[in-house]
């Protein structure tokens, strides 16, 4: 008996479901609505079923949105209770980071300004107006181009200067009658000029985002004893940790 009643209720629910979910034909729908008008319990159950449908749809739509927003949440909200304690730490670590960076920037600036009073980019104080090689005054020009972010032009000029330097050094070394001391002085001068050009080249390469080439050049300074060893080491480490 109970099984029959349950079966009857189940089948009635089937019919209600078809109506609520819009699966009835026009004729079936009219017949059902007529039945509802005559049967209070049928009407009640139909209203209840429609409410269940609306509640479920509303719930799932909201849950879908919440799941989407949950994916966007970056910080771990389960540990957000500690966030109040972390804020001062963030400030302290941020200020410390700025101080560390500022230290390196000042170091670079000092290295650049040691000779000629400028060097906001850590450019070398190497310019010697009396230098008897072609293109001596062009290095200030290259530096100016880099400072004005004309990196491609600076690189082109550096290349020209390198060619000129090579040519000059060959010419000078080939000059007859030079003493060993004079040859050694020339060699040091050319080596110094090459280092200056390579240092400028590293900055120009960084400017046009050819970071790997720049880092190779900077790394080569670290391996030699020279004017740029320390500052190259600092710059290399700074860029590596970025």
Partner 1 sequence: MYVLFIPIDMIKLFRRNKTSDYSDVELVVGLKKDDKAVEEACYQKCKTYFYANYRAVFFTGENEIDDLFHETYLTFWDNLKKGKIYVEDGEMKGKNGKPFRSSLTTFLMGIAKLKNLEWVRQNQLHNKDKNDDKEIWDSFMSTDENDESEFMLNYISECLSKMANRCRQIITMFYHEMKPLDEILDELTSFKSKNALKTAKYKCMENLKQCSNDMYEHYLNS
Using the rule CB under 8 A, which residue among 37, 48, 163, 237 binds partner 1? 48
Minimum CB distance to partner 1 smaller for 73 or for 179? 73
Site mask, partner 1, residues 143-172, x = CB under 8 A?
A: ------------------------------
Assess 238 for contact with partner 1 (CB under 8 A). Answer: yes
* 3-class secondary-structure state, position 158: helix
Q: Which stretch binds partner 1 (CB under 8 A): 5-13, 133-141, 165-173, 221-229?
A: 5-13
Structural contact between residues 46 and 19, judged by C-beta atoms closer than 8 angstroms: yes
Burial 18-43 (b: 16+ CB within 10 A, else e): ebbeeebeeeeeeebeeebeeeeebe
CB of 66 to partner 1, least distance (A): 6
Report how many residues bind partner 1 under the rule CB under 8 A.
52
Using the 8-state DSSP alphabet, how is residue 117 labeled? S
State yes or no: residue 63 binds partner 1 (CB under 8 A). yes
Structure tokens at 37: 């008008």
Minimum distance from residue 118 beta carbon to partner 1 (Å)? 14
- Render the burial of 206-224: b for 16+ CB within 10 Å, e for the rest: bbeebeeebbebbeebbee
Residues 6+ apart with CB under 8 A from 219: 232, 236
Asked if 119 touches partner 1 (CB under 8 A), the answer is no
By CB under 8 A, tell whether 37 contacts partner 1.
no
Contact 135, 159 (CB under 8 A): no
Shortest distance (Å) from residue 237 CB to partner 1: 12
Residues 196-235 that bind partner 1 (CB under 8 A): 206-207, 235
Count of alpha carbons within 13 angstroms of residue 80, beta-carbon side = 6
Calculate the CA 126 to chain-centre distance: 34
d(CA 13, CA 237): 74
119 or 135: CB nearest partner 1: 119
Q: Binding partner 1 by CB under 8 A: which of 56, 114, 163, 188?
A: 56
Q: Minimal distance in Å, beta carbon 26 to partner 1?
A: 20
Contact set with partner 1 (CB under 8 A) = 6, 9-10, 13-14, 17, 20-21, 47-60, 62-63, 65-66, 69-70, 72-73, 77-78, 80-81, 83, 90-91, 93-94, 97-98, 101, 105, 108, 120-121, 206-207, 235, 238-239, 242
């Amino acid at each position: 008996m109970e099984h029959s009643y349950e079966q009857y209720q189940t089948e009635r629910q089937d019919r209600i479901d078809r109506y609520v979910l819009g699966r009835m034909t026009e004729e079936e729908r009219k017949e059902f609505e007529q039945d509802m008008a005559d049967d209070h319990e049928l009407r009640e159950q139909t209203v209840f079923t429609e409410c269940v449908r609306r509640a479920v749809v509303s719930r799932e739509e909201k849950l879908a949105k919440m799941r989407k927003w949950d994916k966007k949440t970056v910080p771990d909200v389960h540990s957000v209770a500690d966030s109040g304690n972390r804020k001062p730490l963030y400030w302290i670590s941020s200020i410390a980071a700025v101080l560390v960076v500022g230290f390196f920037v000042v170091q670079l600036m000092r290295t650049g300004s040691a000779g000629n009073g400028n060097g906001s980019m850590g450019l070398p104080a190497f310019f010697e107006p009396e230098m008897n090689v072609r293109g001596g005054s062009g290095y200030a020009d290259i530096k100016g181009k880099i400072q004005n972010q004309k990196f491609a032009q600076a690189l082109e000029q550096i290349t020209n200067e390198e060619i000129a330097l090579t040519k000059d050094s060959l010419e000078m070394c080939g000059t007859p009658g030079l003493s060993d001391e004079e040859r050694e002085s020339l060699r040091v001068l050319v080596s110094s000029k090459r280092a200056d050009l390579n240092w400028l080249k590293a900055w120009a390469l960084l400017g046009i985002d050819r970071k790997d080439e720049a880092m190779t050049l900077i790394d080569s300074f670290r391996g030699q004893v020279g004017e740029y060893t320390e500052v190259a080491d600092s710059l290399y480490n700074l860029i590596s940790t970025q």
